[in-house]
C-alpha cells in the first residue's frame, strides 16, 4: 500500500490528495489491528479503571466517583479512551467491555464501603451502543448490584445527551427500566449537542453533567455565563442535580459555588486516581478537605 501511495504522489502533482490517501490507508490498518487487539484485551487484563472524585459545593464532601477506563496496550503503551472507545463501539466489543467496567466499578465501591464506611456513589459511563442496542444491559446492571450487594441508589449511570436524544421513545422506556432498579440516571456531556427542554421534562433524569467545553467559558462574560445560570435555575426547579465537569481554576469553583451548582469534578480538586491512590485520597480528604 505504501508503494502505491508513493507511486501516486510521484506521478501526480496533487501531493496533498495522495498524502491524504496514504494516511487514510495507514489509519485503516492501525484501526484494524487495534480492534483485533481489543478483542482479547479484557481476558488479558489490559484494562483498568481510574476514579475521579465529585464534591458537593455546599459541604465539600466527596459524593461520587466517576469510573474512567484505561487501556495499557502490551506494545503500544497507554491508549486513551477517546482513541479506543469508538473502535470498541463500532466493533461491538463495547458490550463485553462495558459489562466488565460496570462490575469492576461496583466491586471497587463495595470494597470502599466495607473498608472505609463511606457513603459514596459510583458513576459509570454507558456507551450509546450499550444504551441503544445491548438488550442484556439492564440484566447486567441488576447482576452487578446483586453480586456486590450495592443499592441502586449508589450507582449513577452516565448516558450522553446525544444518545438520549437520538433514541426517543425507546430511550424513555430504557430509562424507566433503569429507574425501576433505583439507579440514578445522569445526562453526560450536557451542553454539547441538541439540548432539548422537552427531554428534561419527559425523561426521568436525576442529574445533568455540564461538559468541560462549556465550563471553560463560564467566566468569559459571554452567553455561557447567562446560560449556565438559567440552566441551574431550571435544574433546581425540576429537582435535577447538576455536576460541573472539568473545573480547573479557583475562579470557576467560586463562581459555581455562588450559583449553587451541586457538584464539581475536575483537575482543580483531583485528577482521576488509581484505586490505591483513591483510598489514600479519601483518608487525606477526611483530615484536610480539598476545599
Regarding 69 and contact with ligand C2E (CB under 6 A), the answer is yes
Tally helices (H) and strands (E) across the chain: 13, 9
Could you tell me the CA-to-CA distances from 263 to 47, 89, 103 in Å, in that order? 28, 29, 25
Identify the residue whose cell numbers are 470557576: 252
- Choose the stretch contacting ligand C2E; rule: CB under 6 A; options: 25-33, 61-69, 219-227, 273-281: 61-69
C-alpha cell recorded at residue 38: 481489543
Cβ at position 106, least distance to ligand C2E in Å: 13
Q: How many residues bind ligand C2E (CB under 6 A)?
A: 23
Report in angstroms how near the CB of residue 212 gets to Mg ion at its nearest: 7
Indicate which single residue of 188, 206, 224, 262 sits in contact with ligand C2E (rule: CB under 6 A).
Answer: 188
**CA 28, CA 21: separation in Å to the nearest integer?**
10
Nearest distance in Å: CB 11, Mg ion: 44
SS3 of residue 264 by DSSP: strand
Spatial distance between the Cα atoms of 32 and 35, rounded to a whole number of angstroms: 5
All three cell numbers of 217: 467559558
Residue 161, interface with Mg ion (CB under 5 A)? no
Residue 248 interacts with, from Mg ion, ligand C2E, none (CB under 5-8 Å by kind): ligand C2E
Please pick, from the candidates 89, 188, 224, 262, the single residue that binds Mg ion as defined by CB under 5 A.
Answer: 188
**Cβ atoms of residues 239 and 36 within 8 Å:** no
Binding residues vs ligand C2E (CB under 6 A): 52, 67-69, 80-82, 85, 101, 125, 127, 158, 188-189, 212, 245-248, 265-267, 272
Amino acid at each position: 500500500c505504501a508503494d502505491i501511495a508513493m507511486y501516486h504522489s510521484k506521478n501526480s502533482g496533487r501531493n496533498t490528495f495522495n498524502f491524504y490517501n496514504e494516511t487514510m490507508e495507514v489509519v485503516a490498518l492501525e484501526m484494524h489491528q487495534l480492534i483485533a487487539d481489543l478483542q482479547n484485551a479484557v481476558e488479558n487484563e489490559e484494562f483498568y479503571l481510574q476514579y475521579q472524585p465529585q464534591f458537593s459545593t455546599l459541604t465539600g464532601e466527596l459524593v461520587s466517583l466517576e469510573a474512567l477506563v484505561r487501556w495499557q496496550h502490551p506494545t503500544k503503551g497507554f491508549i486513551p479512551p477517546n482513541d479506543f472507545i469508538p473502535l470498541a463501539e463500532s466493533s461491538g466489543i463495547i458490550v463485553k467491555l462495558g459489562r466488565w467496567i460496570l462490575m469492576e466499578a461496583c466491586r471497587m465501591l463495595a470494597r470502599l464501603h466495607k473498608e472505609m464506611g463511606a457513603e459514596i456513589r459510583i458513576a459509570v459511563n454507558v456507551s450509546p451502543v450499550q444504551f441503544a442496542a445491548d438488550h442484556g444491559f439492564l440484566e447486567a446492571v441488576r447482576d452487578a448490584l446483586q453480586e456486590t450487594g450495592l443499592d441502586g441508589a449508589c450507582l449513577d449511570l452516565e448516558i450522553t445527551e446525544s444518545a438520549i436524544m437520538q433514541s426517543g421513545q425507546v430511550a424513555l422506556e430504557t430509562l424507566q427500566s433503569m429507574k425501576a432498579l433505583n439507579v440514578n440516571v445522569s445526562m453526560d456531556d450536557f451542553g454539547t449537542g441538541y439540548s432539548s427542554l422537552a427531554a428534561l421534562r419527559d425523561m426521568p433524569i436525576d442529574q445533568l453533567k455540564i461538559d468541560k467545553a462549556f465550563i471553560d467559558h463560564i467566566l468569559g462574560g459571554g452567553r455561557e455565563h447567562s446560560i449556565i445560570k438559567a440552566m441551574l435555575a431550571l435544574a433546581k426547579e425540576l429537582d435535577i442535580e447538576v455536576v460541573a465537569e472539568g473545573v480547573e481554576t479557583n475562579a470557576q469553583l467560586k463562581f459555581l459555588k455562588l450559583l449553587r451548582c451541586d457538584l464539581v469534578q475536575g483537575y482543580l480538586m483531583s485528577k482521576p486516581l488509581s484505586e490505591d491512590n483513591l483510598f489514600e485520597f479519601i483518608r487525606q480528604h477526611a483530615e484536610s478537605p480539598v476545599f
